[in-house]
Structure 1
Amino acid sequence: MKSFEVNFDGLVGPTHNYGGLSYGNVASQSNSQQASNPKEAALQGLAKMKVLMEMGFVQGVLAPQERPDVAALRRLGFAGTDAQVIEQAARQAMPLLVASCSASSMWVANAGTVSPSADTADGRVHFTAANLNCKYHRSIEHPTTSRVLGAMFADSKHFAHHAALPAVAQFGDEGAANHTRFCREYGEAGVEFFVFGRSAFDTRYPAPQKYPARQTLEASQAVARLHGLSDDGVVYAQQNPAVIDQGVFHNDVIAVGNGEVLFYHEDAFLDTERVLAELRDKLARCGGNFQAVCVPRALVTVDDAVRSYLFNSQLLTRADGTMMLIVPEECRKNERVWQYLQGLTAAAGVIREVKVFDLKQSMQNGGGPACLRLRVALNETELVAVNPGVIMTAPLYDTLTQWVEKHYRDSLRESDLADPQLLLECRTALDELTQILKLGAVYPFQIN
């Protein structure tokens, strides 16, 4: 049976703004308070989806969330009508209003962790929504994320959904941004690779000193248990604390994997040789040939990687079995990174092609191509069971483009978030979107 790796890209929401909310994310903090362009951001994301669809990749779309999150503001003590809640928050606690308006759900690599049916004990595709409890503005996402994923992957014969882990520091879970999977074929059993920044209970693991380590070992282990993964099909690795302190807030800012290939920076992990050996050994038991492509620090520094988002690229398998990297424009603008990429493809190794996309609006807020997509490996039967409304087609692309043009603003500043009209615009747009994507009622304003 044929199998596919489907990339479900996050559709940028109408309240996309530069609030500088993500401590430890250099781009997010350095562009704080600048004017954003939600319309341009959404269109840039859609353009990437369209190109990959036209190249023959199966491409899906994942809906954004309702923002501002008025219910979250009510839980913090603001009262009255929706407009009054927004007005009070703007006057008394503007940072809370900014957090409640974040469009960070666009980075669906953090939406959850997905294990394909070939790896799980019950033969179903398993989803666990990420609690994202390290940052308040992201911690409020998982209830809607669970409903949206449930509407996309609704057939319980093929799909199993788990609630987010307990929202405490010991089980900090950032989803697929710290998880990848290696396999010979997408429909065959593989090895799931969980990368963590710290251990909540085991003091043998060093922790970063400047920025928080968002993913815990205990969270990764809990997800593996929930998904029914075997010990032989899992490898855990600790992210290098020193690179976290240089702005590598997720593993997908310093490494990316797909198929049998891991593309990583020399400084990405602790105990790198052990990690690579374990991946090689366990993938060999699955019939695979693990290949590690190391980027030396002498050619590309960690700072280069963070500024260019070289590793926050999509590593995609081409029809001939070789790999293609989808990178942001910032890689071409960094002389050392671009020189490295030119040499990489010229060497005729496993990575043969680099394709560049302009994702400036997302990049300025700290998210590149890999942040914008959640990967789901599906066989033919499972793909048929997915809600067809969320699979990208040429007509759907046209419809979504028109929808963005109709509903999105082309400029948004912090002061605009206090406008109650923005909430009405967002709800009107999302109500129409659920009809376009055939999701049903997934947003609080549609349910309550």
Structure 2
Amino acid sequence: MKSFEVNFDGLVGPTHNYGGLSYGNVASQSNSQQSSNPKEAALQGLAKMKALMDMGFQQGVLAPQERPDVAALRRLGFAGNDAQVIQQAAKEAMPLLVASCSASSMWVANAATVSPSADTADGRVHFTAANLNCKYHRSIEHPTTSRVLGAMFADQQHFAHHAALPAVAQFGDEGAANHTRFCRSYGEAGVEFFVFGRSAFDTRYPAPQKYPARQTLEASRAVARLHGLRDEGVVYAQQNPFVIDQGVFHNDVIAVGNGEVLFYHEDAFLETERMLAELSSKLANVGGKFQSVCVPRSAVTVDDAVRSYLFNSQLLSRPDGSMLLIVPEECRSNARVWQYLQGLTSSGGVIREVKVFDLKQSMQNGGGPACLRLRVALNETELAAVNPGVIMTASLYDSLTQWVERHYRDRLTESDLADPQLLLECRSALDELTQILKLGAVYPFQIN
């Protein structure tokens, strides 16, 4: 039976704005308060999805969230009808309104952690929605995320869904941005790689001093237990606290893995040699041959990596066994990074080709190609059980492009978020989107 890695990309929402909400994310903070272009952002993301589909990769779509989140504002004490809630929040607590309008769910690498059926005890694909409790604007995402994933992967014979972990600091969970999987082929048992920034209970692990470590060891272990993973099929590694303090807020800003390959920066991890040896040994036990590609700090600094998002790239397997690296335009704009990539692809190693995409709207808010996608390994039977409305086709691409053109603004500033009409526009767009993607009622305004 054939198996595939399907990339489900987040569709950028109508309220895409530069709120500067993510402390520790250099791009998010640097571009705070600039005007954004939601229409351009959504079209850039769709263009990447279509291009990968045209290259022969399996591609899907993950819907955005309802914003502003009026229910979240009501829980914080704002009262009245929807328009009054928005206007009161804008007058009394604009930062809370900005947070309730965030379109950060576009970065679906943070939506959930996914374990394929070949790894799990019950032979189903397991999903655990990320609690994202480090940032308020992201912590309100997981209820809708769970409903959307449930509508996409509804067949209980093949798919199992777990609620987000307890929303406390000890179990901070950022989803697949700190998780990857190594395997010989997508349908065979593999090794799941969990990267954490700190331990909540074990003081032996050092912590960053400037920026928060968003993923805890305890959260990673809890997800592994929920998914029924074997100890022999799991490796835990600690992210280097020094690089977190330089703006590497998730592991996918400093490393990316796929198949049997880990592409990482020299300063990405603590105890790197021990970790590589464990990955190699455990992957060999299931028939794989682990390969690592280390980018030396002498060629690319951590600052270069953060500014270019070199490692927040998609590493995709070609039929001939070689790898394709999907990078943002910022990599070509950075002379050192681009020089390194030219040398990498001409060296005869496993990464043979680089393709560049313009994702400026997402990049300026702190998310690159890898942030925009949630990887789900599926066999033929499981893929057939996925809601077909969310699988990218030429027809769906055309429908979504036209949908964006109809519903999205081409300019959005902080003052625009106080306009109650924006909520109505968003709801109208999402109501139509659920019909295009065949999701049913997944948004609060459709349910209540």
Q: What's the TM-score, normalizing by structure 1?
A: 1.00
Residue of structure 2 in register with 1:265 after alignment: 265
| Secondary structure of 2:200's aligned partner | coil
C-alpha distance in 2, partners of 1:384/1:142? Answer: 26
Separation in 2 of the partners of 1:318 and 1:109? 22
After superposition, the C-alpha distances for 1:256-278 in whole angstroms (9 at most, x for unaligned) are 00000000000000000000000
1:443 matched to which residue of 2?
443
CA distance in 2, matches of 1:320, 1:32: 43
Deviations 1:91-129 (A, max 9, x none): 000000000000000000000000000000000000000
Deviation at residue 319 of structure 1 after TM alignment: 1.4
Tell me how far apart the structure 1 counterparts of residues 319 and 410 of structure 2 sit (CA, whole Å). Answer: 38
Match of 1:391 in 2: 391
Deviations 1:135-170 (A, max 9, x none): 000000000000000000000000000000000000
C-alpha separation in 1, matches of 2:83 and 2:383: 42
Looking at structure 2, the residues matched to 47 and 386 of structure 1 have their Cα atoms a distance apart, in angstroms, of 22
SS of residue matched to 1:8: strand
Mapped to 2, the partners of 1:311 and 1:225 lie a distance apart of 28
Please give the secondary structure, in 2, of the residue aligned with 1:280.
helix
- Percent identity of paired positions between Structure 1 and Structure 2: 91
Q: How many angstroms apart in 1 are the aligned matches of 2:422 and 2:320? A: 47
Alignment of 1:39-58 (within 5 A): 39-58=39-58
1:348 Cα deviation from its structure 2 partner? 1.2
**Aligned counterpart, 1:366:** 366
* Residues 342-384 of structure 1, C-alpha deviations (whole Å, 9 max, x = no match): 0000001000000000000000000000000000000000000
What is the rounded CA distance, in whole Å, between the counterparts of 1:103 and 1:143 in structure 2? 15
Q: Does the residue aligned with 1:50 lie in a helix, a strand or coil?
A: helix
Offset of residue 324 of structure 1: 0.4
Unaligned runs of 5+ in 2: none
Distance of 1:402 and 1:194 partners within structure 2: 39
What is the deviation of 1:51?
0.3
> For each residue in 1:151-198, what CA deviation from the matched residue of structure 2 results, as whole angstroms up to 9, or x when unmatched?
000000000000000000000000000000000000000000000000
Tell me the equivalent position of 1:207: 207
The aligned residue for residue 245 of structure 2 is: 245
Aligned residues: 448
Q: For 1:348 and 1:331, how far apart are their aligned partners in 2?
A: 21
1:226-245 to 2 correspondences below 5 Å: 226-245=226-245
Distance (whole Å) between structure 2 residues aligned to residue 426 and residue 137 of structure 1: 17
Q: Distance in 2 between matches of 1:354 and 1:413?
A: 34
> In structure 2, how many angstroms separate the alpha carbons of the residues matched to 1:306 and 1:210?
16
1:292 is paired with a residue of what secondary structure?
A: strand
1:393-442 deviation digits (Å, cap 9, x = unpaired): 00000000000000000000000000000000000000000000000000
Determine whether 1:62 maps to 2:75. Answer: no
Equivalents in 1 of 2:300, 2:87: separation in Å?
A: 47
SS in 2 for 1:160: strand
Give the superposition deviation at 1:214.
0.0
Give, in angstroms, the shift of residue 252 of structure 1.
0.1
Can you list the C-alpha shifts for 1:16-38, whole angstroms capped at 9, x where unaligned? 00000000000000000000000
Give the whole-Å Cα distance in 2 for the aligned partners of 1:211 and 1:245: 5
Aligned to 1:7: 7
CA positional deviation for 1:229: 0.1
- Give the C-alpha shift of residue 73 in structure 1: 0.1
- CA displacement 1:47-86 (0-9 Å, x = unmatched): 0000000000000000000000000000000000000000
Give, in whole Å, the separation in 2 of the partners of 1:75 and 1:34: 29
* Aligned mates of 1:131, 1:148 — CA distance in 2: 15
Matched, 1:291 2:291: yes
- SS of the equivalent of 2:263 reads strand
Give the match's secondary structure for 1:289.
coil
Distance 1:399 1:443 in 2: 20
CA-CA distance at 1:14 after TM superposition? 0.0
Per-residue CA shift, 1:271-309, capped at 9, x if unaligned?
000000000000000100000000000000000000000
Q: Give the whole-Å Cα distance in 2 for the aligned partners of 1:91 and 1:102.
A: 18
Distance 2:414 2:136 in 1: 18
Distance 2:213 2:359 in 1: 26
Q: Displacement, 1:44?
A: 0.0
Q: SS of the counterpart of 1:98?
A: helix
Shift of 1:236: 0.0
CA distance in 2: counterparts of 1:402 and 1:44, whole angstroms: 14
Distance 2:55 2:351 in 1: 17
Report the secondary structure of 1:445's partner residue: helix
**Aligned to 2:156, what secondary structure does the other structure show?**
coil
Separation of aligned partners in 2, 1:328 and 1:348: 23
Deviations 1:302-337 (A, max 9, x none): 000000000000000011110000000000000000
Paired residue secondary structure (2:353): strand
In the other structure, the counterpart of 1:35 is: 35
SS of alignment partner, residue 128 of structure 2: strand
Q: Secondary structure at the match of 1:64?
A: coil
Question: Given the two structures, how large is their TM-score scaled by the length of structure 2?
Answer: 1.00
Q: What RMSD in Å do the two structures reach over aligned CA positions?
A: 0.2
CA distance in 1 between counterparts of 2:226 and 2:322 reads: 33
